[in-house]
Homo-oligomer: A and B are copies of this chain.
């Protein structure tokens, strides 16, 4: 197990996320640059370094893929991130839209013992406050059986279980709509022009969600 810088860890995590939500299981220089708020040149440099350390499969001008070692690291960071989020919400009463940026820092703390004790302290949770599965110590991940709200058929009720974007902007928007994990939603109508959807909740309130929002709300 090598010593990685925080920056390297963040790249690994971004690659994991991008390849996870791309059909092909790969990530491009531009996608990572976008996500890391940096320039493609920087990403190319980092790809070389990570490749040197055998954490990604990299060939010039091609997309990259995490190696097994890289994936293991990504899952470990994800585990820490989600356990910390759970801690912040469950024990310190943070609201679920406040935890992300603090967890972004805490996920880099290096101490096997700390994270194992934290897991125990929290009662070995399977899902974090956003509904995302928490990888186990060995990297095993509870199934996340959710799909984007935008892919739900019309008039089939579903439960809001996770978000696919943890930016403050997005979470605040949800707050404005009064949308929370656990809400029961039903798509009543699709607007073909901009792919937005009309949704009703259990109380019968109706609201219109853009394609972007509906694509980042995950439901079962």
Residues of chain A having any CB pair with chain B under 8 Å: 88, 91-94, 98, 101-102, 105-106, 109-111, 113-114, 117-118, 121
A-B contact pairs, 18 of them (CB 8 A): A88-B114, A91-B121, A92-B117, A92-B118, A92-B121, A93-B117, A94-B117, A98-B113, A101-B111, A102-B109, A102-B111, A102-B113, A102-B114, A105-B109, A105-B110, A105-B111, A106-B106, A106-B109
Question: Please, which residue of chain B has its CB at the minimum distance from the CB of A108?
Answer: B105
A113: B residues at CB distance < 8 A: 94, 98, 102
Question: Please, which residue of chain B has its CB at the minimum distance from the CB of A114?
Answer: B102
Chain A interface main SS type: helix
CA gap between A168 and B40 in the complex, in Å: 43
How many copies the complex holds: the figure is 2
Shortest distance in angstroms between A75's beta carbon and chain B's nearest beta carbon?
21
CA gap between A21 and B87 in the complex, in Å: 37
A110: B residues at CB distance < 8 A: 105
- Contact (Cβ within 8 A) B105 A92: no
CA gap between A122 and B127 in the complex, in Å: 25
Most buried by B among A93, A102, A106, A114: A114
CA gap between A101 and B118 in the complex, in Å: 16
Q: Which 10 A-B pairs have the closest CB atoms?
A: A92-B117, A102-B111, A105-B109, A102-B114, A92-B121, A106-B109, A91-B121, A105-B110, A92-B118, A93-B117
CA gap between A18 and B142 in the complex, in Å: 49
Question: Please, which residue of chain B has its CB at the minimum distance from the CB of A101?
Answer: B111
CA gap between A105 and B110 in the complex, in Å: 8
CA gap between A93 and B121 in the complex, in Å: 10
Shortest distance in angstroms between A146's beta carbon and chain B's nearest beta carbon?
29
- 12 further A-B contacts with Cβ under 8 Å, apart from A94-B117, A102-B113, are A91-B121, A92-B114, A92-B117, A92-B121, A93-B117, A98-B113, A101-B111, A102-B114, A105-B109, A105-B110, A106-B106, A106-B109
Shortest distance in angstroms between A86's beta carbon and chain B's nearest beta carbon?
14
CA gap between A102 and B118 in the complex, in Å: 13
